[in-house]
Structure 1
């Protein structure tokens, strides 16, 4: 699990390897991850977008940007939480992800990036 706080917005990530959907012999490793976004600030914020960097063990990097998360742009009042799950595939059994959520403060319309901490994706079969 990885956690990081930016401007009172705490991002926690819990990754997991999905053996049932992975095919190591075909170089296809599937990982799920659950993201929890907690607003520990005194202001209401909204998540507008995401920007991910996904690395595999061969040094290849994919960059993913888009609006919201899984089709949503949640509004988080002080003390509010939003949790969602997603997934990614890698051609290697080891990798990592990190990025940022683009946020807006509803009160003054200022924007900021809430950092998504680096987390590692490791297929247990690669730990031998």
Structure 2
């Protein structure tokens, strides 16, 4: 009989949103999507090696509550292995049309093969006035 395990959070494994950048694409063209570029780091402060194998984002429209789920293997084309004390940094983006909340999780396995999960902190995507498109979050 095969045993199934639910992914477990690993104490010390954490995601930090380092910066958000907002761009309004196609001035004067309301049908064009807006861009939120995010810079994230994943730090392994635990005592075990983990490998991240996939991600799931949930984007929730602030006004309507409509949700869009984005899932896939890897993280920007890689499957980072993080030893204790290791860090993985990357940037990517989401497209949206009106204020939207983004949140999610990364999934993987620890060195013993147990499934793990680490949450992506929730952040708000909303266009900002000209000249205020970068938001460092330190």
State if a TM-score over 0.5 links the two structures. Answer: yes
Q: Report the counterpart of residue 50 of structure 1 in structure 2.
A: 55
Q: 1 or 2, which has the higher helix percentage? A: 1
- Number of equivalenced pairs: 118
Cα distance between partner residues in 2 of 1:101 and 1:28: 25
Contact 2:10–2:46, Cα closer than 8 Å, also in 1: no
Where do 5+ consecutive residues of structure 1 fail to align?
A: none
Aligned 8 A contact 1:54 1:63 in 2: yes
> How far off its partner does 1:22 sit?
5.2
Instruction: Name the TM-score, length of structure 2 as normaliser.
Output: 0.78
In the alignment, the residues of structure 2 paired with residue 78 and residue 6 of structure 1 have an alpha-carbon distance, to the nearest angstrom, of: 12
Please, what TM-score do these two structures have when normalized by structure 1? Answer: 0.83
Displacement after TM superposition at 1:25 (Å): 2.2
Separation in 1, partners of 2:33, 2:78 = 28
Q: Distance in 2 between matches of 1:102 and 1:122?
A: 27
1:9 to 1, 6, 13: 13
SS at match of 1:124: coil
Note the 1:17-96 alignment, pairs <5 A. Answer: 17-19=22-24, 21=25, 23=27, 25-57=30-62, 58-92=64-98, 94-96=99-101
Larger radius of gyration: 2
Contact 2:38 2:93 (8 Å CA) reproduced = yes
Correspondence for 2:103 among 98, 106, 119? 98
Please, what is the CA RMSD of the aligned residues?
A: 1.8
Map of 1:124 onto structure 2: 128
